[in-house]
Amino acid sequence: MDITKEFSLLEKKIIKLDEEEKILVLNNIKLHLHNISPFKNEPIDYVIWVKRNQVLANDYNPNVMSPTEKKLLETSLIKDGYTQPIVVLPMLPNKKDQLTWQVVDGYHRYLLSKKNILKKRLNNYIPVTLLNKKIDDISNQMAATIRHNRARGQHKISAMSDIVRDLSRLGWNDYKISKELGMSKDEVLRLKQISGLTELFSDREFSDAWTIK
């Protein structure tokens, strides 16, 4: 079979489609290629373009970026284009029975995509790659975001302490939090102290030197 000839015939069919149909077909082709790829277990092997309004930001991202860094990222996206996709998790269909995804990594790339120059150039589409494992509870979604962000950005301490607090309330012990988020036990303890909730220390014994004001 002459693969080049087959692709040439396919190309002639696709080129006649309007933009939205073309994107849907190309995404579908990428999925089929991904399914037979030697790298199908790697999310980066499957990057597709989806409408921006189908992607939702999460409300627990502790990654912060200075105005200077944000401006540099904006310039990079405008001058160099999107060189990294936004990492997302699939969500349940919305009220219009439309598939939606939630941001795991790439929050600032996602926010900047609404800039007029980028929105116009990409026609309200953004590049995404999907985590290929099932994460169906909020605690594991939070952990996935932290793992992606932790080595690459600065984290707002108060936001990180909120994350630790929430994971603790969801039943994660210190060992699991430190293992899943790449923290030392002392770091987990310090973040618990910052949150200031005595309930987080209910499983600990303290010496007489400890006082609570």
The tens digit of pLDDT for each residue in 75-122 reads 999 999 999 999 998 876 656 667 788 888 888 999 999 999 999 999
Q: What is the pLDDT at residue 212?
A: 46
Dihedral Cα 55, 45, 25, 123, nearest 10 deg: 40
Q: What is the pLDDT at residue 136?
A: 59
In angstroms, the CA 46 to CA 133 distance is 13
Q: What is the pLDDT at residue 189?
A: 83
Q: What is the pLDDT at residue 61?
A: 65
Nearest to 100 by CA among 53, 143, 47, 140: 53
Q: What is the pLDDT at residue 118?
A: 95
In angstroms, the CA 98 to CA 93 distance is 5
SS (H, E, C) 99-124: CEEEEEECHHHHHHCCCHHHHHHHCC
Q: What is the pLDDT at residue 183?
A: 77
In angstroms, the CA 69 to CA 185 distance is 31
- Please give the angle made by the CA atoms of 196, 199 and 201, to the nearest 5 degrees: 80
| Ranges of the chain whose pLDDT falls below 70 | 1, 60-64, 92-97, 132-141, 147-158, 195-213
Buried b (16+ CB within 10 A) or exposed e, 14-31: eeeeeeeeebeeeeeebe
Q: What is the pLDDT at residue 207?
A: 45
Pairing status of strand 86-91 against strand 100-105: antiparallel
